Amino acid sequence: MTTLVYLIPVALFLGALGLAGFLWALRSGQYEDLDGAAERILIDRDDRSN
């Protein structure tokens, strides 16, 4: 029973951390071009002057 006192908050905190991370990613526009993100990984960075 005593272990639950800290295990439950820890579990909830980790879950909430994941949720917050997702909401942050959503707000910063990382989900706006999913197809593009998948393709951009193929582009060589060196070629880009800017």
Binding site for other proteins (CB under 8 A): 1, 4, 8, 11-12, 15-16, 18-19, 22-23, 26, 31-36, 39-43, 47-50
Nearer to other proteins among residue 6 and residue 49 (C-beta): 49
Nearer to other proteins among residue 6 and residue 40 (C-beta): 40
Quote the tokens at residue 24: 């942050």
User: Would you list the DSSP string of 1-50?
Assistant: -HHHHHHHHHHHHHHHHHHHHHHHHHHTTTTS-HHHHHHHTTS-GGG---
**Least distance to other proteins from the beta carbon of 27, Å?**
8
